[in-house]
Amino acid sequence: MLTLDLFVNAIVAGILLGGFLAAVSLGISIVFGYLDIVNIAHPAFVVLGSYAVYILNSTFGIDPLLAGIAMAAPFYLLGILIYRFYYAFFERHGAESLRGLVFFFGILFLVEVGLNITYGVDYRMVNAFYLGKSIEIGLVGIPYRLLIPFVAGVAMIFIVYLYLSKTFYGMAIQGVAQDSLAARLMGADPIKIKSVAFGMGMATASVAGALLIMISPIEPSMGREYIGRVFAIAVLGGMGSVVGTLVAAVLLGIAESLTSTFYSPSMAPAVSFGILLLVLAIRPSGIFGR
């Protein structure tokens, strides 16, 4: 049943979903792409961000998005701590990133169990005056529940892109990613720079957590459902490409939305991963990979 109305709405829904998925994947893209750290715990950190937002929203009535932004600073510091620990026990000894995977698996379980013990396993949601409302523009209906995560996700990606390409520290992160030894010979401190990059990845998890809890109820183990999707987006976009992350997320969002609307919702993830395989066959380094 192909109608213009359905088609346009499916495309718009896909784009909105893509903005949200890009926000969730951005931390992976930075940490995996620039630091070669397989931070499989990132989706768990996103859920941790959701809980932080939930507490601020339910206790103080703070808007979820503002709460997510406010929590970005503590998350940044937490990220620096985690990286320092990872560096001291893995990276410094020349351990391969695959061994670091075990470390982050452990962190993932710690975060889940910690949330489980502290807040229980009940589903948590937030309240905001705009959730549940939508705007109509011609044929298209846009729920604020998706529009705000999209706008916030794209804005966050834009800010991170500007930071990485225009600031000294941003360019230093790229320099360390390309050749850590050369950066050290230039007088840079790769560990400090990597700490900043990891902290930045964690800070994005806080904002992404706010977007997640606006879209869906959360519970401690929910991050697992996003592990495959976020890594697929990071790889599809091209390792370390922030713009690529957004493009890949929107591409997969549109593919999933069109499949759900016109074919079968159960096939949507298969179509997404099919696209991933196809793109990697043609461009092994991803859409924007170098």
Partner 1 sequence: MNGLRVRAVRLGKYFLCAIAIVAFTVPAVHAQKPLKIGFSMALTGPLAQAGKGALLAMQIWAKDVNDGGGLLGRPVELVYYDDQTKGANVPLIYAKLLDIDKVDFIVSGYGTNITAPAMPLVIDREMVFISLFATAVNQHFNYPYYFQIMPAGPNPVVDWSAGFFEVAARQNPKPKTVALLAADAEFAQNAVDGARENALKHGFEIVYDQSYQMGIPDFTPIVRAIKARKPDIVYVMSYPPGSVGFVRAAKEVRLEPKIIGGSMVGLQYTSIQMNLGPTLNGIFNYWFWAPEPTLNFPGIEAFLKKYQAEAPKQNLDPLGYYLPPFAYAYLQVLQQAIEATKSTDQKTVGEYIRQAEFETVVGKVKFGPNGEWARSRMLFVQLQGIESHEMVEFTKPGKMRVIYPEKFRSGELIYPFPGWQ
List interacting residues with partner 1 (CB under 8 A): 1, 3, 5-6, 9-10, 13-14, 16-17, 20-21, 112-113, 116, 119-125, 127, 132-134, 141, 143, 145-146, 212, 215-217, 219-222, 225-226, 256-258, 260-262, 264-266, 268-269
C-beta of 114: minimal distance to partner 1 in Å?
12
* Dihedral-angle region of residue 188 (phi above 0 means left; psi in -120 to 50 means alpha; beta otherwise): beta
Q: How far is the CB of 164 from partner 1 (least distance, A)?
A: 26
- Least separation in angstroms between residue 222's CB and partner 1 is 7
Q: 9 or 174: whose CB is closer to partner 1?
A: 9
User: Residue 206's closest CA among 15, 32, 77, 29?
Assistant: 77
Least separation in angstroms between residue 4's CB and partner 1 is: 12
Question: How far is residue 108 from each of residues 41, 46, 129, measured CA to CA in Å?
Answer: 5, 11, 33
86 burial level (CB within 10 Å; 0-12, 13-18, 19+):
buried
As measured in angstroms, the least distance from the Cβ of 105 to partner 1 is 15
Q: CA–CA separation, 189 vs 168, rounded Å?
A: 13
The DSSP string of 66-116 is HHHHHTHHHHHHHHHHHHHHHHHHTGGGT--HHHHHHHHHHHHHHHHHHHH
Q: Which is nearer to partner 1, 88 or 265 (CB)?
A: 265
Among residues 13 and 172, whose Cβ is nearest to partner 1? Answer: 13
Considering the complex, state which of residue 6 and residue 101 has its C-beta at the smaller distance from partner 1: 6
**Which of 131/191 has CB closer to partner 1?**
131
Longest dimension (CA), the chain: 63
Q: Which is nearer to partner 1, 103 or 150 (CB)?
A: 150
Q: Least Å distance between CB 249 and partner 1?
A: 12
Q: How far is CA 111 from the centre of its chain?
A: 17
Q: What Rg do the C-alpha atoms of the chain give, in angstroms?
A: 19
